[in-house]
Amino acid sequence: MILEDTLRKSRDNYEILQDDQNIRKLESGTTVRDKRGAKNLAADHLSRLENPDMDSGVIEVIRDKFPDENLNMIKTIGEDPIPWYEILQTILPPVFSLKRAGNITKKDEMPQQSISVSEVFDIWGIDFMGPFPDSKGNKYIVVVVNYVSKWAEAKASPTNDAKVVVDFVKSLVCRYGCPKALISDRGTHFANYRLEKTIKRYGVHHRFSTAYHPQANGHAENTNRALKRILEKTVDNNPKIWAQKLEDALWAYRTAYKTPIGSTPYRMLYGKACHLPFEFEYIALWALKKVHLDDIASGKERLINLHQLEELRSLAYENSKIYKEQRKKSHDAHLKEVKVFKEGDKALIYQTRLKFSPGKLKSRWIGPYVVLKAYPSEYVDLMTERGEFKVNGHRLKLYN
């Protein structure tokens, strides 16, 4: 029954379709007649001719496997050995090069290089913090930190110009002596003739960190973060009193334990622990010991303290060296590859300061520039349109 119904419906549909076609033929005024091949010799002959565009060989069966396994291979046909896609290299502009794509991350950094120092107060790092909310006319903080003892000095100022830096450096020299080097960034408040003239008079060598690479002056950056956290907890909900709390923040920083040196900056400088306010609420042991001391006993004790201070600083040097080696090992373990630059190489520079709106198809990599010299301390000298330029290897990528 089901088969009969299906055949009946198919026949009815075919008859309806034939009727529709006949109606269209009548409306158009044309008549279509079917002839056998024997009676239509011309059409029958043309239908049996071979197509010259088709291969005359045997039709091959479509295969699902490739016995030679030569996938993704391109070969040239004819006598010309140059493939067709090589023309694209001369047609497409350099901006489409894959070398200019992507950003930089911590994995692209250069192997870490530590600054080795020998004596306390030999090297200082200087930097500015701010601007902050106005506090008694002050908006900035100039901070300087010693690379060995981690001792920090800071001063609030209304501006961050060269005059503030010069006055601060003069005060630093008068209190701690002439350092061998002063490390800063390339801001105009540090890179100016007035400061260079001042430190030259004191015999200080001014070293600049590379542009857009604050890690080169990491001691100053770490001190800035530490002081900022202390001030945030001190001023609470009244940020306009930060200038009044700056000395308290420095005291807290100097008496805090520093892991790299295994001591506090205060003890590294004075050879003893700092007496804190809570000690005066009770009868402190140190006060009882100094009640009946004579001059001879006091002199001997002071001599012992001086020897202990030298031993403490020697131990701090060793702790700092071990700490830096551990940090370097941890840092270098996450690098993708060690970038090696040689004289004559071409390199691209990553433009950190550029800010693009969403959807802008523009690369941050510019160049290529020729490498003039590569230093062991991660710095590379390049030749640009404006002359020689020093940049950190973190912002460079080889251009081959």
Residues pairing with 206 in the sheet: 182
Contact between residue 227 and residue 129 where contact means Cβ atoms under 8 Å apart:
yes
97 Rama sector, left if φ>0, alpha if ψ -120 to 50, beta otherwise: beta
Confidence (pLDDT) at 19: 52
> Is the pLDDT assigned to residue 142 strictly greater than 60?
yes
327 vs 3 pLDDT, higher one: 327
Relative to beta strand 205-208, strand 181-184 is parallel
Confidence (pLDDT) at 151: 93
Q: What is the CB neighbour count within 10 angstroms for residue 115?
A: 16
pLDDT digits (tens, 9 = 90+) for 210-255: 777 666 677 788 888 999 999 998 888 888 899 999 999 999 999 9
DSSP classification of residue 86: G
Residue 62, CB-side half-sphere exposure with 13 Å CA sphere: 0
Contacts of 345 (CB under 8 A, 6+ apart): 370, 371, 398
> Is the pLDDT assigned to residue 166 strictly greater than 60?
yes
Burial of 184 (0-12, 13-18, 19+ CB in 10 A): buried
Query: Shortest CA distance to 237 belongs to which of 133, 331, 383?
Result: 133
> Is the pLDDT assigned to residue 2 strictly greater than 70?
no
Q: How is 8-74 classified by DSSP, letter by letter? A: HHHHHHHHHHHHHHHHHHHHHT-------TTT-HHHHHHHTSPPTTS--SPPPPP-S--TT--TT--
Query: Shortest CA distance to 199 belongs to which of 155, 167, 232, 242?
Result: 167
Query: Shortest CA distance to 108 belongs to which of 262, 334, 269, 263?
Result: 334
Structure tokens at 336: 């993708």
Confidence (pLDDT) at 152: 94
Give the helix/strand (H/E) hosting 324: helix 295-332
> Is the pLDDT assigned to residue 96 strictly greater than 50?
no
Contact between residue 317 and residue 88 where contact means Cβ atoms under 8 Å apart:
no
| 81 phi and psi angles, rounded to 5 deg | -80, -10
267 Rama sector, left if φ>0, alpha if ψ -120 to 50, beta otherwise: alpha
Burial of 249 (0-12, 13-18, 19+ CB in 10 A): buried
Mean pLDDT to the nearest integer, 167-183 = 92
Contact between residue 233 and residue 203 where contact means Cβ atoms under 8 Å apart:
no
Relative to beta strand 123-129, strand 140-146 is antiparallel
- Distances from the Cα of 151 to the Cαs of 210, 251, 256, 315, in angstroms? 24, 10, 11, 17
Mean pLDDT to the nearest integer, 64-83 = 59
> Is the pLDDT assigned to residue 180 strictly greater than 80?
yes
Query: Shortest CA distance to 199 belongs to which of 162, 233, 227?
Result: 162
DSSP classification of residue 64: S
